[in-house]
Amino acid sequence: MGVLKRFCHFKYLLILVIAIVSSPVQAQLCNGSFGDPVVDITFGSGSGSSPYVPTASYTYTYSTCPNDGYYTIAPSTSNCFGNTWHNVLSDHTGGGSFLLVNASYQPGDFFLTTVADLCPNTTYEFAAWVMNVMNVFNSILPNLTFSVETPGGTVLNSFSTGDIPVTSAPQWNQYGLIFTTPVNNPVIVLRITNHAPGGVGNDLALDDITFRPCGSKITANISGLNTDTV
């Protein structure tokens, strides 16, 4: 009976481990109320109108179908590379432009910025909306890491998207993390890193990169009224 009990316990743990490993990666996003964003990059409302400049790994080109190692800022893209990319008709919100990247052959940073004068012991959300623009299912999959670091390079918190799958239709998904500022680190570095190689695939769109305070969920009502409108 003791051996059977131990076997059942081991079987339960094995099933639990398999379930955890097999579960899809979930972004660690804020479930509360937001304060004013410290970083808010929307990429503007027209082609090339955003002042945003990615890291030195990428070169700007005004093209709706940039080649490997290039990026563009566009409100849409269509008929790229023999229609192996989705036709993306709008940004995440439906009214502006987005960053369109054809990843370089060597992994590197998509986004890097420094933020100062943050409140200590405050929770922030660092997030972006991302789309795998490929529609070929055997292509290289984007794989990103969001990280919050000290200026010296010490990682304070990070989140990995894992492989971002190909979808049958264009689909924006938000990825990111929440982070509580320490007392003695008023300056932090925000980084989004590409881990997959370039080639056939690893092509993606990014939109609405934000870093903003995340507080407790706030609900309001007026005593004596059954509705929230008058």
pLDDT digits (tens, 9 = 90+) for 15-70: 333 333 333 344 577 877 788 889 998 888 766 555 666 666 677 777 889 988 88
* Bridge partner list, 162: 144
Closest to 81 measured CA to CA, from 206, 205, 201, 207: 201
Tell me the chain's radius of gyration from C-alpha atoms. 21
- Tell me the pLDDT of the chain averaged across its residues: 79
**For residue 114, how many other CB atoms are within 10 A of its CB?**
11
pLDDT digits (tens, 9 = 90+) for 64-85: 899 888 888 888 999 999 999 9
Question: Lowest-pLDDT range, 53-57, 157-161, 220-224?
Answer: 220-224
- Write down the pLDDT at residue 80: 95
Region 100-122: what's the mean pLDDT? 87
Region 203-229: what's the mean pLDDT? 72
Region 2-7: what's the mean pLDDT? 36
* Res. 144 pLDDT band, cuts 50 70 90: very high
* Position 71, amino acid: Y
CA–CA dist 63, 44 (Å, integer): 16
